Amino acid sequence: MFDSTEKFAKQMDEKDPMKGFKKEFYIKENQIYLDGNSLGLMSKNAEKTLQEVMDSWKDYGIDGWTQGKHPWFYLSENLGEKVAPLVGAKSEEVVVTGSTTTNLHQLVTTFYKPEGKRTKILADELNFPSDIYALQSQLQLHGYDHEEHLVRVKSRDGRTLDEDDLIQAMNDEIALIVLPTVLYRSGQLLNIEKLTKAAHERNIPIGFDGCHSVGAIPHDFHNQGVDFAYWCHYKYVNSGPGGVAGLFVHEKHFGKTPGLSGWFGSDKSKQFDMEHTFSPAYEAGAYQIGTPHVFSVAPLIGSLQLFEQAGIETIREKSLQATQYLMDLLNELLSDHGFTIGNPVEDERRGGHVSLEHPEAASICKALKAHDIIPDFRSPNVIRLAPVAFYVTYQDIHQTVMTLKKIMDEELYKNYKNERDVIA
């Protein structure tokens, strides 16, 4: 039973199965970090494995490709096997490679095959701009006007998407569908199974951007039949800024030649034959374009060790409880200050963060930062608060809401301009 006292928060922390993980992360003293859905914190494990990989360069030189604790030549595939449980995939369906947008370009180039009247790509109007830019670019490369050929399904409320609206737009002009798993602003979790089934009934390949869900929400991409997916690891998976991304290709597409061929997508046994005929790997490794960014991959090794210890189901359970607790506190203690909770409140539709709307959102975020609480602002009026399961406690959440109440009661936010900084 919920109550808004600090004593209750302490009791929740005592029962938390993840209570031992916070000490594994570097957090400033007295700081509460609620921006892990934008950039996760460094863990001691990530620092350790980065140093180990740097040492392998120092100790082995070029032999580091095949020797040392983490040989580089198979690193992308080996880490794909470790990421696979987070997305509900077979180990050979996942590879750690590239960046989110590079991987999207690779996958669209592979799966977008306009023919006859099927020339359009279906997306949505609430997706992250980088995805839209990439899709516009791909259409232009095929000689199509993106204003006409990129179909962006409208939101009914400016916050969320209705799956039935998305399905209604899956007509016989659509050649490919690309959607987010979780909307970056509102935190809505889409019904991936329903959307995938509808797309396949219409013979349309469908892929998902998992940037705002992987590491916070268990997925089941293989069993749901998702054609492809792509995501970053620097948010909930805590791999560090510029951390190498990941992609999934369902095994039913194995043997397909990637749209963008690169040397590291070769069959490993033939890669050093140096032939000018590309022999792609049979599995997801084929979708690599360039040499692994070894030092940018290295922190992920250590981060994934923590996921193996915690388990993604336990992480999701904590995330749901923490976001519910946060919403309960906001509703009870801040109902008179003009806030609106903009994310879906149902467990099955809620991602890993709470989307708090207010006309003075930017200035409120600045006031929170001045009190050592790190939120995230998204234009025009959203305060994103992510109680990441690994390193945000229930007492942290309670203190955040009490501090926010003080900021509003005393109008401390008026000391700051209500406009975003260069990086929101």
pLDDT digits (tens, 9 = 90+) for 323-351: 999 999 999 999 999 999 999 999 999 99
Please spell the DSSP secondary structure of 153-180, one letter per residue: EPPSSSS---HHHHHHT--TTEEEEEEE
Cα–Cα distance, 300 to 110 (Å, whole number): 27
For 15, the token pair is 């029962």
The model's confidence at residue 2, banded by pLDDT at 50, 70 and 90, is confident
The whole-number average pLDDT for the span 65-89 is 97
pLDDT score of 422 more than 90: no
Query: Vertex 198, ends 192 and 202: CA angle to 5°?
Result: 140
Helix (H, G, I), strand (E, B) or coil at 230: strand
pLDDT digits (tens, 9 = 90+) for 278-308: 999 999 999 999 999 999 999 999 999 999 9
The pLDDT of residue 176 is 98
The pTM is what?
Answer: 0.96
CB atoms within 10 A of CB 10: 13
Annotated binding site: 100-101, 128-131, 209, 212, 234, 263, 291
The pLDDT of residue 271 is 86
The pLDDT of residue 421 is 87
Structure letter (DSSP) for residue 331: H
For 71, the token pair is 């040989």
Return the closest-CA partner of residue 283 out of 302, 269, 273, 300.
Answer: 269
The whole-number average pLDDT for the span 379-386 is 96
pLDDT digits (tens, 9 = 90+) for 156-175: 999 999 999 999 999 999 99
pLDDT digits (tens, 9 = 90+) for 124-160: 999 999 999 999 999 999 999 999 999 999 999 999 9
For 325, the token pair is 């607790």
pLDDT digits (tens, 9 = 90+) for 13-52: 999 999 999 999 999 999 999 999 999 999 999 999 999 9
Q: Is the dihedral of CA 277, 282, 284, 285 positive or negative?
A: negative
Return the closest-CA partner of residue 139 out of 124, 150, 128.
Answer: 150
pLDDT score of 377 more than 80: yes
pLDDT digits (tens, 9 = 90+) for 266-279: 998 998 888 999 99
Considering the chain, what is the average pLDDT of its residues?
Answer: 97
The domains located in the chain, with CATH, are 6-30+311-413 (3.90.1150.10), 48-309 (3.40.640.10)
For 177, the token pair is 């569908």
Cα–Cα distance, 368 to 371 (Å, whole number): 5
Annotated binding site for pyridoxal 5'-phosphate: 100-101, 128-131, 209, 212, 234, 263, 291
